[in-house]
Amino acid sequence: MAHENRLTNRHVLIFGGTSGIGFATASMALSNAANVTISGSRQPKVDDKVTLLRSFYPSLPSDKVAGFALDLSDTVNLEKGLIDVFEKATNGGEKKVDHIVFTATGDINGKPTVETVDPATVFDGFKVRWLAPVIIAKVLATNPGKYMPVSHKSSVTVTGGTNTVKPMPGWSIAAAWGGATDGLVRGMAVDMKPIRWNQVEPGAVQTELLQGYLEMLGPDGLEKMKREGGVTGELGQPEDLAEAYGWLMRDWFVTGKTASSDGGRLLV
């Protein structure tokens, strides 16, 4: 039989969807005629990105994409804020979310090293990357079927990184943040079944987040990263990583897994 496009008319909600990999994933989903909702920390930026996405696909109805702001670092109001986003995105449960993509990282000013680490900074690193997906799971589990169908066709995909598997010098604390997410995915795949939980593990991807690190490497930082960051001789692009999230949404038989898109970094 003809192969189905499994994203057409599916509803994809992307936390971190206003920039980098999240924005590219939103564009990829729209290119497959999905319904897309993006979320970021500031409503003006969300609105601008919604307008930009609509301009990419002018033949699609404007209501194929929407966006709502939420500060994921506000742990006191996190659960309430997530429920509010789900209520708006689904119109009170009428337009259920089929897939959640989580690429948000939070506003961490640099990464702590062993010499500079303090408890507050360590816990700040877990607020968005780890705690927010946990509370998303709680909202789904305590409202079964309201916001997302309880089905193997539904998925949640979070974001890790290759430094969890192969840390660079000075990355031990940041590697632990990723390690916690890695364990979370496998646990949630069991506890939230049949909803599928997976993660994408990017290597060096040319995003706003990477730019600051490249500047620290000096004027030849970009070329150095290309030479030493893998075997392809190139940095990844957000559009490359979007395909990994697309696979994990489309493949109804994959759960508890990590999709690594790293240019071969783990080979060298």
Is residue 66 over pLDDT 90?
Answer: yes
pLDDT score at 220: 80
Whether residue 115 lies inside any domain: the answer is: yes
Sign of CA dihedral 196, 23, 15, 66: negative
- Say what percent of the chain tops pLDDT 90: 81
Residues 6+ apart with CB under 8 A from 63: none
Amino acid at 110: G
Confidence of residue 226 (pLDDT cuts 50, 70, 90): confident
pLDDT score at 108: 57
To the nearest whole number, what is the mean pLDDT of the chain? 94
State CA 37 to chain mean position distance.
13
Q: Which residues partner with 39 through β-bridges? A: 15, 68
Whether residue 223 lies inside any domain: the answer is: yes
- Say what percent of the chain tops pLDDT 70: 98
Q: What are phi and psi of 7, to 5 degrees?
A: -105, -15
Whether residue 239 lies inside any domain: the answer is: yes
**What's the total number of domains in the chain?**
1
Q: How far apart are CA 85 and CA 91, in angstroms?
A: 10
Is residue 2 over pLDDT 80?
Answer: yes
Is residue 191 over pLDDT 60?
Answer: yes
Q: Average pLDDT, stretch 138-147?
A: 99
Amino acid at 5: N
Write out the residue range of the structural domain in which residue 65 sits: 11-261
Confidence of residue 201 (pLDDT cuts 50, 70, 90): very high
Whether residue 6 lies inside any domain: the answer is: no
Amino acid at 121: T
Q: Which two tokens stand for residue 256?
A: 């508890």
Residue 266's SS3 state is: helix
Q: What is the pLDDT of residues 10-63, one digit of tens each?
A: 999 999 999 999 999 999 999 999 999 999 999 999 999 999 999 999 999 999
Any idea what the CATH number is for the domain that residue 248 is in?
Answer: 3.40.50.720
Cβ-count burial of 165 within 10 angstroms (0-12 exposed, 13-18 middle, 19+ buried)? middle
Q: How far apart are CA 206 and CA 14, in angstroms?
A: 19
Better-scored residue on pLDDT, 174 or 184: 184
Whether residue 35 lies inside any domain: the answer is: yes
Residue 261's SS3 state is: strand
Q: Average pLDDT, stretch 148-159?
A: 99
- Of 157-166, 169-178, 189-198, the least confident: 169-178
Report CA dihedral (160, 96, 253, 186) to the nearest 10 degrees.
Answer: 40
Whether residue 3 lies inside any domain: the answer is: no
Whether residue 268 lies inside any domain: the answer is: no
Whether residue 4 lies inside any domain: the answer is: no
Q: Reading across the β-sheet that carries 99-102, which strands appear in turn?
A: 65-69, 35-40, 11-15, 99-102, 155-159, 196-202, 258-261
Q: How far apart are CA 101 and CA 88, in angstroms?
A: 17
Cβ-count burial of 186 within 10 angstroms (0-12 exposed, 13-18 middle, 19+ buried)? middle
